[in-house]
């Protein structure tokens, strides 16, 4: 079953527990705690916040080069991410993370989503397949999010999804919006939906995503 994940893109840390409750009540199965969106986070604050979220969540501190908002050093980024790890269901870590910092995340006793984001283009199927193999080598779930320039680019994501398991594959933007509800038919473990502040272009609202997935769910033959 595909989980609907709602990213929390909120700079005021005090508001996040309430937003988490709201998104869950609206139909999110899991949340994404975007540490990079927070204003002046510290390890102690992130640890306390993670303990106060009463729902499963993915801890993410997205690199600026992959569409994130974090402006500190790699060491600081990984320390903040690690601070949320004890309470998180998953940690999302970018494949391009520096090796010494990536090793710290890999060694944590938590499930990992290893991700690749490209906001400029959609690489070839061969290149994406190679990236997915590398992500799966070090993580539990692979994630690919790319920007299409043509409809054919979006079909590359569908073909990739049809060949791989344990893969979240997304074609971003308006052109690729439909892939967010089609890849679950290929077994995508998670799809992302917005509760109000999208973390990437093309995200549908939580309620709409749940409704469409319910309609697309294969019906049992009598």
> Which pLDDT does position 219 carry in this prediction?
54
Q: Does residue 190 carry a pLDDT above 60?
A: yes
Report the CATH number that the domain containing residue 35 is assigned in CATH: 3.20.20.70
> Which pLDDT does position 186 carry in this prediction?
94
- What is the C-alpha to C-alpha distance for residues 128 and 143, in angstroms, rounded to an integer? 10
67 token code pair: 């569409």
> Which pLDDT does position 18 carry in this prediction?
96
What mean pLDDT do residues 48-64 have?
A: 96
Domain interval for residue 133: 3-207
157 within 8 A of 178, measured Cβ to Cβ? no
> Which pLDDT does position 218 carry in this prediction?
60
At residue 141, the 3 state secondary structure works out as strand
- What is the C-alpha to C-alpha distance for residues 45 and 121, in angstroms, rounded to an integer? 36
155 token code pair: 């079909």
> Which pLDDT does position 216 carry in this prediction?
81
129 token code pair: 């397949």
Does 106 reside within a domain?
yes
Does 145 reside within a domain?
yes
User: 3-state SS of the chain: helix, strand, coil percent to 5?
Assistant: 45, 20, 35
- What is the C-alpha to C-alpha distance for residues 58 and 78, in angstroms, rounded to an integer? 14
Does 215 reside within a domain?
no
Sort strands 57-60 and 30-34 into parallel, antiparallel or unpaired.
parallel
Does 109 reside within a domain?
yes
Q: Angle CA(178)–CA(184)–CA(205) in degrees, nearest 5?
A: 55
Catalytic residue numbers read: 117, 143
Sort strands 30-34 and 167-171 into parallel, antiparallel or unpaired.
unpaired
Does 127 reside within a domain?
yes
Q: How confident is the model at residue 221 (pLDDT cuts 50, 70, 90)?
A: very low
Does 183 reside within a domain?
yes
Does 212 reside within a domain?
no
Does 216 reside within a domain?
no
Structure confidence by residue, pLDDT tens digits, 72-102: 999 999 999 999 998 999 999 999 999 999 9
Look at the chain and report how many structural domains it folds into: 1
């Amino acid at each position: 079953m595909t989980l609907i994940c709602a990213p929390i893109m909120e700079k005021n840390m005090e508001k996040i527990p309430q937003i988490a409750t709201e998104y869950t009540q609206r139909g999110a199965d899991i949340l994404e705690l975007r540490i990079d969106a927070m204003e002046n986070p510290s390890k102690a604050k992130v640890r306390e916040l993670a303990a106060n979220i009463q729902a499963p969540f993915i801890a993410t501190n997205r690199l600026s080069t992959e569409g994130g908002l974090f402006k500190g050093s790699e060491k600081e980024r990984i320390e903040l991410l690690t601070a949320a790890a004890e309470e998180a269901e998953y940690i999302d870590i970018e494949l391009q993370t520096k090796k010494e910092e990536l090793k710290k995340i890999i060694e944590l006793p938590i499930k990992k989503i290893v991700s690749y984001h490209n906001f400029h283009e959609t690489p070839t199927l061969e290149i994406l397949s190679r990236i997915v193999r590398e992500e799966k080598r070090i993580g539990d779930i692979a994630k690919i999010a790319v920007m299409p320039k043509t409809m054919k680019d979006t079909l590359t994501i569908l073909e990739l999804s049809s060949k791989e398991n344990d893969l979240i594959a997304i074609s971003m933007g308006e052109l690729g919006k439909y892939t967010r509800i089609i890849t679950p038919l290929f077994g995508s473990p998670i799809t992302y939906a917005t509760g109000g502040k999208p973390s990437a272009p093309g995200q549908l609202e939580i309620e709409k995503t749940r409704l469409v997935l319910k309609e697309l769910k294969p019906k049992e033959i009598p």
